[in-house]
Amino acid sequence: MRKLFASALVFALVITGAAGLRATEPQAKDIVDTAVAAGSFTTLAKALQAAGLIETLKGKGPFTVFAPTDEAFAKLPAGTLEALLKDKAKLTAILTYHVVPGKVMAADVVKLKEAKTVQGQMVKIDTSMGVKVDNAKVVKTDIVCSNGVIHVIDSVIIPK
């Protein structure tokens, strides 16, 4: 009976450990394909296309993307998105402000006060009441992709 129980325990630990490993392994999809497949980032995908950043974010990376949802883009003042889609330089600056070089997981983000973005400026990180990047609340973390990680935010962040 003890041998049976011990075998069952070892089996359960192996299965649990393997399941945990799969949860943290990178997806076969890159950041762009993962965002598109999620279905809640169609505006972001459209903006990345307009800025010519699709191939960059499909590249080797690694990248950390603070990805605003469609609802986040909808919070922008009327006409802002349309104007940005026509101004490639400004759109590129805003989108690259959402990207940090390297793979920064949630456990790492909470240890930071700021991070340098691909755009060149620092984004502020506040962990006093949840996690905020500038004024955007992080609503989902650690979506691991083949070339980095996505953290979902509820607002578009604008560089100063």
Which letter does DSSP use for residue 20 in this model?
A: H
The answer to whether residue 118 sits within a structural domain is yes
The answer to whether residue 21 sits within a structural domain is no
pTM of the entire predicted model? 0.82
The answer to whether residue 3 sits within a structural domain is no
Instruction: Write the Ramachandran bin of 79: left for phi over 0, alpha for psi from -120 to 50, otherwise beta.
Output: left
Residue 123 three-state SS: strand
Q: What CATH code is carried by the domain that includes residue 136? A: 2.30.180.10
**Could you tell me if 129 and 137 are in contact, meaning their C-beta atoms sit under 8 angstroms apart?**
no
The answer to whether residue 18 sits within a structural domain is no
Range of the domain at 101: 26-153
The answer to whether residue 7 sits within a structural domain is no
The answer to whether residue 66 sits within a structural domain is yes
Lowest mean pLDDT of 26-40, 52-66, 115-129, 130-144, name the range: 26-40
Number of domains in the chain: 1
The answer to whether residue 15 sits within a structural domain is no
Rounded to the nearest angstrom, the gap between the alpha carbon of residue 74 and the centroid of all alpha carbons in its chain is 18
What digits encode the pLDDT tens for the residues 132-157? 999 999 999 999 999 999 999 999 99
Beta bridge partners of 64: 100, 149
State the Cα angle at 142 between 94 and 63, rounded to 5°.
45
